[in-house]
Structure 1
Amino acid sequence: MNCEVYKGSRKEGAYLFVADSKSLENLPAALTEQLGDLEFVISFDLATRTSLASADPAEVMASIKTGGFYLQMPPGKDLETC
């Protein structure tokens, strides 16, 4: 599964994982408002990864498949306090 990662301009340390840039059109409005402008970071094949820096690849893949995205927050933070 291809995965693209974006960072938000308003939430330092928050990263959004999606299947492709077209997926950005279907994000919840509340999420995009909280994150601000999204900047592309990297694209990679998630299926070939056995680990990621701060998330389980299987969890990321499942979240993208079921909800369209995976939101990675800095440790100890949530979307409101980030």
Structure 2
Amino acid sequence: MKRICSIYKSPRRNEMYLYVLKADGLERVPEGLLPAFGKPQHAFDLVLTPERTLAREDIQLVLENLEKQGYHLQMPPAEDEYIEHLPEELLRRNDPV
């Protein structure tokens, strides 16, 4: 199953993305989602296949959501994940003296 997907970023939340089938555009996205997401800003288009890997999402889940509900919402990583990737020197600066 090969799908051409448009990916939109949220102006309200850093690293929140909305995947939709390019042919459908934003038609199948529920109206209730858009106020929280903000006005979608087109980031890029991408060909998705089951063999493709995505950095932070399970490709099977993305393809299933696109097929069943017409969109996939990628949430920002948890704050714990940000902390895990900070360089040691930044972590040490925040240690109590």
Q: TM-score range by the shorter chain?
A: 0.7 to 0.9
What is the TM-score of this pair, normalised by structure 1? 0.82
SS of residue matched to 1:65: helix
Shift of 1:58: 1.3
Query: Mapping of 1:9-28 within 5 angstroms?
Result: 9-20=11-22, 22-28=24-30
Identity over aligned residues, as a percent?
30
Aligned length: 77
Please identify which structure carries the higher helix content: 1
**Deviant stretches of 4+, over 6 Å:** none
Q: Which has the larger radius of gyration?
A: 2
Residues in 2 aligned to 1:71 and 1:48: alpha-carbon distance in whole angstroms = 18
Residues in 1 aligned to 2:45 and 2:76: alpha-carbon distance in whole angstroms = 20
Which of 51, 54, 57 is residue 53 of structure 2 equivalent to?
51
Moved more, 38-47 or 18-27: 18-27
Residues in 2 aligned to 1:35 and 1:67: alpha-carbon distance in whole angstroms = 17
Please tell me the root mean square deviation across aligned C-alpha atoms, in Å.
1.7
Unpaired segments ≥5 residues, structure 2: 80-97
Q: Which residue of 2 aligns with 1:64?
A: 66
What is the TM-score of this pair, normalised by structure 2? 0.71
